[in-house]
Amino acid sequence: MALPLLLPWFMRGDLRRRARQIGSTLAKHGLQWMAVQFGVGIMPSLARAPREHATSDVVRQTQAIHLRSALEELGATFIKLGQAASTRPDLIPREYADELAKLQDAAPPVPTEAILAVIQEELHQSPHDLFAEFDPKPIASASIGQVHAARLKNGDDVVVKVQRPGIAEQIEQDLMLLTAMTEWAEAHSGLARDYRLSALVDEFAHTIHAELDYRAEGRNADTFRRNFIGEPTVTIPRVYWKYTTGRVLTMQRVGGIKISDTEALDRAHIDRHLVAENSVRLMLREAFEFGFFHADAHAGNFFVRPDGGIVMVDFGMVGHLTAHVQDVLLEILLSLVRQDPERLTDDLFALGIATSTADRAHLKRDLEYLVTRYATSPMKELAAGPVINELLSIAFRHRLVLPNEIVLLSRVIIESEGLGVMLDPNFQLLSFAAPLMQEIWKKKRSPEVLAGQMAQGVMDATEISLQLPRQIARLLGQLERGTLQVNISQQAIRELSNQLQRMVNRIALSVVLAGTIMGLGLVMVAYHPAAWEPIGGWIITLAFIGSLIFGALLMWSIFRTGGH
């Protein structure tokens, strides 16, 4: 789409101001190198941004801190972007992922009057008519919305999540700029093309749009409630749809002790080991039984009932796993157990899309080292976190861009293990998970499930066989008339075409530059009209300097893009 790429030249005044603010903030924190490396540093609107003083001689750890600070200054969109990036250690260095994970999605509270105005606008009734009580002091205040306790007229205790006024418009503006920046980067940087920045921004935009629509969060909560019907160890609050819109979410207020408050759990005489088992069982069933899991699994989103059961809240971020992906993940676990790096390599390629720089032989060598290092460790001493982090580091080194759901699940597993160890230092996630995973694997391959899959396969094959003669006749007819067309879309061909176009453009510019310099030389030697002397020297000198500058810019362009 041409418009976003042209946007830097023709963007509205507010977008230009925001682009300059982004450039200024990056410069203030000494992050210009990052923009230049990805080809965004020469983007017109960012290049014209005011440059504030930046601290030099910073080590990479300090650069990561500066990046976190810059994202916090830029607001909600960039805080969410940093949080999303922190879950992708397959794409960014580990120290950056760890630092971005510290981003706090908090903001000063919105005045109660503004919150009540949003409720009235969305629900078309005065909040005083809707609620018997409404606590003006928020329970939580984040960058997108804030939460208030309330009581309905029928006496039900609820929590009301209300979107900040104007935040949706700000996020849309930032997403437009991010799209323009990434498309510009991919047109000017091979590194940006390798990382498929546009696809990553599209994925981020989809995620944040879902967070902006509170009805989507309500549907997520309803899905979790259906999945865990009859499960005594899990509580999911219900949604009050009559009091819910895209910007207002009203849910049942559930009690419990924060899962991270170990002292309160001990005072309530709750078995912390049981809580650890319940929380991990919940996570594994979500992902591998239902393929639909809570992707924001930090401790603040889980509470504990008096009997040790788990109460789950905040369903804005979820992950989906298809049956195929679940099967491949199980294959990865089996490959690790069997110490089979060849099969493990195949499994990783099946999950991730290898870039043109991926080297299968080197990838297999790194996986052999991983398998050898952990093979001798007994299951009861093996932690999931180091193994997953090592796999993600290997993916980063080999530029394997894993599907976002896989990386989210990896993060959830690591957080669940950390939570389990915090509750009980002797808790071993892998030892507890092994029999449960085996049970889920058997359930997915039970005679009833296989019979249903076979019946569906027979129906699909029958439908295809009925349509096949007609499709073959249509194909033969097109072949006979000479109208058969084959469409081939190859990213590599497009990239090669773009590179050839740039080479031809540079050759043409070089020829023009050489001709200009030679022409100037001939003029200086052979052409001396009347009244030339007073101004001729200055004209030729300025033209010569301009040619040198033009040539230097051309050489810099060739050098910056690696000579192609």
What are the catalytic residues? 296
The pair phi, psi for residue 121, each rounded to 5°, is: -65, -40
Q: Is 86:68 a contact under the CB 8 Å cutoff?
A: no
List residues bridging with 294 in a β-sheet: 318
Give the amino acid at 97: A
**DSSP letter string over 383-415?**
-HHHHHHHHHHHHHHTTEE--HHHHHHHHHHHH
**Residue 291 to residue 304: CA distance in whole angstroms:** 24
Residue with structure tokens 């940093």? 82
Q: SS3 for 302? A: strand
**Residue 90 to residue 86: CA distance in whole angstroms:** 10
- Burial tier of 163 (Cβ tally within 10 Å: 0-12, 13-18, 19+): buried
Q: Which two tokens stand for residue 146?
A: 């804030």
Query: Rounded to an integer, what is the distance from CA 132 to the centroid of its chain?
Result: 40
Q: Which two tokens stand for residue 54?
A: 């930046």
Q: Which two tokens stand for residue 402?
A: 């894993």
Query: Dihedral sign, CA of 340, 344, 345, 347?
Result: positive
Q: Which two tokens stand for residue 452?
A: 């249903």
DSSP strands (E only) in 178-259: 234-235, 248-252, 257-258
**Residue 1 to residue 21: CA distance in whole angstroms:** 25
Contacts of residue 368, Cβ cutoff 8 Å, sequence gap at least 6: 341
Closest CA to 304 of 364, 244, 366, 262: 262
